[in-house]
Amino acid sequence: MASMLEYIKIILQKVSFDRRLFEKELRKAIRMLMPAEVTRLRQWCYDNYSAVHLHVLNSCFARLTPSS
């Protein structure tokens, strides 16, 4: 069975064509996931979508404090 993080990655891939949908789903994902999963999601998002959605990523992840 896939983890919630893996499910969210699939959703984000499917909505990545639309900035508004991508941002909506990303914000929802950040609320749902545990902090360690959010850290992994952040890295995955920047690796895969920084060229297209950098502003959205910076906006969504800006309020999160980095893990130490």
pLDDT (0 to 100) of residue 21: 98
Which of the four pLDDT bands, split at 50, 70 and 90, describes residue 65? low
Q: Give the whole-angstrom CA distance, residue 7 versus residue 23.
A: 16
pLDDT (0 to 100) of residue 66: 58
- As a whole number of Å, the CA-based R_g of the chain is 11
Average predicted confidence (pLDDT) for the chain = 92
Burial of 31 (0-12, 13-18, 19+ CB in 10 A): exposed
User: How do residues 14-37 score in pLDDT, each as one tens digit?
Assistant: 999 999 999 999 999 999 999 999
pLDDT at position 39 over 90: yes
pLDDT (0 to 100) of residue 55: 97
Cα-based angle 67, 33, 8 (whole degrees, multiple of 5): 120
Check if the beta carbon of residue 40 is closer than 8 Å to that of residue 4: no
